[in-house]
Structure 1
Amino acid sequence: MAELNTGGKKATPRIDMTPMVDLMFLLVTFFILTTSISTPQAMDITKPDKEDDLPENRLALKATKTMTVLLGKNDKVAWYMGEAGKSAPTIESFSQIEKSINENRTKANASGVAGEFTVLVKPTSGSNFKNFVDMMDELEILKVKSRQIDDDNILDSEKAFMKEQGIL
C-alpha cells in the first residue's frame, strides 16, 4: 500500500510490493499446473537377426531407386545412388542432406522404374549417435517409407573413400 506523509518535509511515496509478488507466484503456479509436459516419442527400428541376414533372405533393391548414405565424422555424410563403386559418392554437410534426398527421390520416381525409393543408411565408426538419430528423424520428416540400416556391411571401397576424404 502507498503511504503519504503530509507533515513538514516532503517524503517520497513508498510502494508495498507484497501484493505484486503474491500475484506473480499465483500466476507461476497456475501456468505450471495447467501446462502439459510432452512425452518423448520413440521410433521403432528393427534389424533382422544374424541368421536371417543370409543372402537368400535379403530383399533385392533396385539400384536406380536406392540412395546409400554413409554417416561420417564432423557432421559429414557421403551418399551415392545405385550400386557401390559405379558412381563416386558426394560429400555434404549434414544440413544439406534433406535437399539431396528430395532431389534423388524426384529423379528416381521420374525414371519410370517400378518400385519404391529406398534410403540405405550406413553409420560408420567415425559417426556419432546424434547424427544417426538426426538422419532417421529426417527420413521420417521427409516421409521416406522404405529405409534400411546396414552398419554391418560397409564395403571396403566405401571405407577407403571416406578415409581418403578424412571423414571416417
Structure 2
Amino acid sequence: MAEIVDTGGGGKGDGKVRAKKMSTRVDMTPMVDLGFLLITFFMLATTMTKPTSMTLNVPDKQDKKEEQQTEPLKASKVLTIFMGRNNDIYYLDGVAADDDNAETALKKASYGTEIRDVIFKSKTRINSQNPKDEAGNDPFVVVLKPTPVSTYKNMVDVLDEMAITKTKRYALVDELTDAEKSLLGDRIKPQPEQ
C-alpha cells in the first residue's frame, strides 16, 4: 500500500513559514505477489513442448511362418532413390539398375521440392498406366536405398518426403546390388581425407 510519511519540516528558525513536505513510499509487496501469481498461472496453463516423432509404416505381424507368394515387382512400377554424399539424390524412374539404358536414365536431384516433384510425376505416370492390385493398392512403389556415404539425416528427409507425398508403398533397403554399385560407381565411394 502507498503510505504517506511525515518527514518533518517546518521552519529552521529563519522566521519564514514553510509548508510541510510530505514524502510517499510505495509498498511493492502486493505487486510482487501479483507477479508470482501470474507466473504460476502461466506455467500451469501452458502446454510444454511435446517431443516430435515420425510415424513409420511397417508391415502387419503375421502369425504364419510360411511366406506368401507374391508377384515380383516390375521395374516399370518402381521409383528407386539412392541417397548419395553431399545431400545428393540419384534416382531411376521405371528402370532397373541392370537394364541397358540405366546409365542414361540415372538422374540427380536434391532434397525438398525437386525430389518431391520427381515423386509426384512418377506416381502420376505409374498409377495412370497400371491398374490397382487385388487389395486396391496403387501400383506405384518407391525403393529407398541409403548408401555408405549418405547420412541418417538424408534417410529422415526422404522418409519425410514419403509422408508429404502420401506415398503408402515404399521399402527401405540397405543393400545395393552389384548392378547398382557399378551403376553408381564413384558417387557412393567415400572421398579420401585431405
Report how many aligned residue pairs link the two structures. Answer: 154
Residues 62-86 of structure 1 show CA distances to partners (whole Å, capped at 9, x for unaligned) of 3222101111122211111121243
Q: 1:32 to 1:46 in 2, by over 3 A?
A: same
Q: 1:127 to 1:34 in 2, by over 3 A?
A: same
Q: Distance in 2 between matches of 1:44 and 1:119?
A: 15
User: Structure 1 unaligned runs (5+)?
Assistant: 48-55
Q: Could you say what the CA RMSD is over the residues aligned between the two structures, in angstroms?
A: 3.4
User: Structure 2 unaligned runs (5+)?
Assistant: 6-18, 60-67, 133-138
Q: 2:185 aligns with which of 145, 160, 166?
A: 160
Alignment of 1:27 onto 2:41: no
Q: 1:75 aligns with which of 41, 66, 87?
A: 87
One-letter code aligned to 1:125: P
Q: Distance in 1 between matches of 2:74 and 2:31?
A: 68
Deviation at 1:24, TM superposition (A): 4.5
Q: 1:34 to 1:88 in 2, by over 3 A?
A: same
Q: Distance in 2 between matches of 1:74 and 1:64?
A: 28
Q: Distance in 2 between matches of 1:65 and 1:46?
A: 21
Task: Find the residue that maps to 1:152 and give its secondary structure.
Answer: coil
Task: Give the number of the structure whose alpha-carbon radius of gyration is greater.
Answer: 2
Deviation at 1:23, TM superposition (A): 4.2
Task: Find the residue that maps to 1:127 and give its secondary structure.
Answer: coil
* Structure number with higher relative contact order (C-alpha < 8 Å, ≥ 6 residues apart): 1
| TM-score normalised by the chain length of structure 2 | 0.62
| Structure with more of its chain in helix, by fraction | 1
Alignment of 1:98 onto 2:120: no
Q: Distance in 1 between matches of 2:165 and 2:188?
A: 29
- 2:62 corresponds in structure 1 to none
Deviation at 1:97, TM superposition (A): 1.1
